[in-house]
Chains A and B, each alone.
Chain A
Amino acid sequence: MIFVAKAALAVAGTVAAAGVYTLHDGVAQVDVDDHHGTHVHIWAPAAIVPMAMHVVPKRELHKFPHEAQQAIPILRVVAKELENYPNTEFVEVRDSNTHVRVRTVGTKVVVDVVDPETKVHVACPLAMIQDMVESLKDMREDDDSAPTV
């Protein structure tokens, strides 16, 4: 009985450690609420997003628009450099109806858009963006180096 309890404690400890590891990059958050009844709330551990990219079929990733592929080197530098500017407001646009903010909060980049119809809040850990960009870059390099038949 004691053996089972100790084994359960060990498993619980390992699960806790795995949980801490999964969450140590933070949580990516997307919230969309509009006045037509749409409410989308996604909270995902940042560490699983780059992992999930490895199981996405390559043909789907090839549908990535050319413009988005051009943005990869820019995103790579931005995600790396923004770590040097925690808690900084980069852009704020406000008029009588709309309020847009782009800022960093700690190690996350946060975009908020509020207008009378919709409220959008996106928070992405910079580490997650870096991992994603590296994965996309590696995939592109693999494609470039693949022999053509």
Chain B
Amino acid sequence: MYDRIRRIPAVALIAGALALMPISGSAQNSAKSSDTASRDRWLHVRVENPDSKDELVRVNIPLDLAEKILPTIDKDNFHNGHVKIDHFDCNGVDFPALLSAVRDAKDGEFVTVQSKEQDVRVAKQGNYFLVHVVDKEKSSKDKDAKPSRVEVRIPMKVVDALFSGKKDEVDLVAGLHALALQGDTELVSVKDHEQTVRVWLDSKNISD
């Protein structure tokens, strides 16, 4: 009887130690998962105001996480990772066929618009779909202001994946999946006199 009672504190201590074990286990798991996470692909968004160092937006999203979250959203036009586009009117143009034609086309410029207000260039270059816009309206009014520049650079495989579903849907999950297979790349860059915006993809979990 006394032996049994003598054992109780020891049993309680062992139970305490066992209860603590998951903590050390989870710490090891965290280290392992941290290694795995560093190999993942990350989408970064950074918005800065060049005149004020106080203004900053930084978003870092692992593509793997986004791919898993998107199918769980069920709201309005957003279902199962697809966005349904109402009244998708292309004036009779078969959009998938148009995309296919762009994909099969050789590198070159498809659209070039040059006006006093803005220059627009839509092109395909090295399996990337490019859109460049230079807005000269503000710089024409204020000679010190630099023109606003928008540069969009999307891998063709991502564009294909986005429109791989039904005609009136954008498949965001497929797009993200295709994006995750790409190397480090800058997707969007916007520069004007008020702010700069960068959207890019790399394998770091922080934005430099």
Interface set of A (CB-CB < 8 Å, partner B):
3, 6-7, 9-10, 12-14, 16-17, 20-21, 24, 70, 73-74, 76-78, 81-96, 106-107
Contacts and interface: CB of A to CB of B under 8 A. Distances in A.
A74 B72 CA distance: 5
Contacts of A24: 19-20, 22-23
Contacts of A81: 64-65, 68-69
A92 B5 contact: no
Sorted from nearest, which 4 A-B pairs have the closest CB atoms? A13-B12, A10-B8, A17-B15, A92-B58
27 contacts: A3-B5, A6-B8, A7-B5, A10-B5, A12-B12, A13-B13, A13-B16, A14-B8, A14-B15, A17-B12, A20-B20, A70-B74, A77-B72, A78-B69, A81-B68, A82-B65, A83-B29, A86-B33, A90-B60, A92-B56, A92-B59, A93-B56, A93-B58, A94-B57, A95-B56, A106-B30, A107-B30
A91 B59 contact: yes
Contacts of B5: 3, 6-7, 10
A84 B30 CA distance: 7
B41 to A, nearest CB: 13
Nearest to A84: B33
Nearest to B26: A107
Interface of B: 5-6, 8-9, 11-13, 15-16, 19-20, 22-23, 26, 29-30, 33-34, 36-37, 52, 54-62, 64-65, 68-69, 72-75, 205-206
Contacts, number: 108
B20 A9 contact: no
Given A70-B74, A92-B57, A92-B58, A86 B13 contact: no
A116 to B, nearest CB: 13
A78 B64 CA distance: 11
A127 to B, nearest CB: 9
A133 to B, nearest CB: 11
Nearest to B52: A96
Contacts of B74: 70, 73
Contacts of B59: 90-92
Given A7-B5, A10-B12, A90-B60, A17 B19 contact: yes
A85 B65 contact: yes
Contacts of B34: 86-87
Contacts of B33: 83-86
Contact of A94 (B9, B29, B55, B72): B55
Nearest to B71: A77
Contacts of B57: 92-94
A4 B185 CA distance: 71
Contact of B60 (A73, A83, A89, A95): A89
B72 A16 contact: no
Contacts of B37: 84-85, 88
